[in-house]
Amino acid sequence: MYIGFSEAETFIRNCKDAVIITHRNPDGDCTGAGFAMKEILKQLGIRSRVVCHDVFPKRYDFLTGDAEDEDFEPQTIIAVDVADKKLMGKYEEIYGDKVQLCIDHHVSNRNYAEKTLLRADAAAACEVIYDLAKFMGLKLTKHCIECLYTGIATDSGCFRFACTTPHTHEVAAEMMREYSDINFTKINRNMFDVKSAGRIRLESRLNDMIETYIYGKLCIIAVTKDIMEELGVSEDELEGFAPLTIQYENAEVGIFIRQRADDYKCSFRSADKVNVSEICETLGGGGHEKAAGCNLSGDLEDIKKQLIAAVCRAL
């Protein structure tokens, strides 16, 4: 059931001992949303812990903090930025059918939770949480704002992607005005400019690996386990490279493929007109109009053929 802010507020104020679930392959938005939510609940005197199928990447250490989680039997299950319970990974089995409140911004949200606060026009789940906290009249902590700002900045590609609305800028402006002691420039530098030596080497290697199809309208980069091993990079270091696939001036669609234990994760990007969420839905995935994904298993060359055919149909 879809709910609005006031019902979400009632739920949050009355919940206790919460588990907050984020999606696998955590990005800045689900990490920020999870830990902002934890901070908000703490402010309300409610215990919670944030869980994720994967380990949160090191660059989000400033959001996750190092406080030990309290041990409690959860009474409340909340999901943030999780469009589909499948994205919970190992937590799907435990909590997948028990989510009481989902806060999300994906058009493709599967409505798997008892109550869903969905704002498909928000640039990030963090933008929804900020609006909700404002609605609730809460004065957020500095750390909470750092979490929320990071989620909005990362999901909007530093306020460049089409999901960025006037309201997104207004939220960021409000944050900067009211929390002048936060180093927003540093957050953006760390999220967008700072790279490990391995990542820099990887980026140049990935640029060399761009394959073009359909008269250059489709660009694919496929990273196999062998290449990861050769470059000495871990899987979480491959986050955020999908935009490389739409750098070419003629590119309409880009697909960044990475090999995982038993399948290939395919991240789609649209340069302008093509709705990649629709393409991904035909392949069992989903996401946003301009950024979506799906997971395919089998032989890499066969997968590429399947992807090229799907993009061809959409062009």
Give me the residues that bind Mn ion (CB under 5 A), please.
Answer: 29, 81, 124-125, 155
Closest CB 164 distance from Mn ion, rounded Å: 13
Closest CB 72 distance from Mn ion, rounded Å: 27
Rank residues 22 and 245 by Cβ distance to Mn ion and give the closer one.
22
Closest CB 73 distance from Mn ion, rounded Å: 29
Rank residues 36 and 124 by Cβ distance to Mn ion and give the closer one.
124
Closest CB 286 distance from Mn ion, rounded Å: 13
CB 255 within 8 A of CB 245: yes
Q: Which two tokens stand for residue 16?
A: 């206790």
Rank residues 21 and 124 by Cβ distance to Mn ion and give the closer one.
124
Listed residue (129, 138, 137, 169) closest to 31, CA to CA: 129
Please state, in angstroms and rounded to a whole number, the distance separating the CA atoms of residues 310 and 279.
6
Rank residues 132 and 251 by Cβ distance to Mn ion and give the closer one.
132
Tell me the residue ranges of DSSP E strands in the chain. Answer: 18-21, 48-51, 76-80, 101-104, 115-118, 211-213, 218-223, 253-259, 264-270, 286-287, 291-296
Rank residues 81 and 237 by Cβ distance to Mn ion and give the closer one.
81
Closest CB 123 distance from Mn ion, rounded Å: 8
Rank residues 74 and 157 by Cβ distance to Mn ion and give the closer one.
157
Residue nearest to Mn ion (CB): 29
Please state, in angstroms and rounded to a whole number, the distance separating the CA atoms of residues 163 and 167.
10
Closest CB 178 distance from Mn ion, rounded Å: 23
Q: What is the DSSP annotation of 167-188? A: HHHHHHHHHHHH-TTS-HHHHH
Distant-in-sequence, close-in-space partners of 146: CB < 8 Å, separation ≥ 6: 62, 63, 182, 187
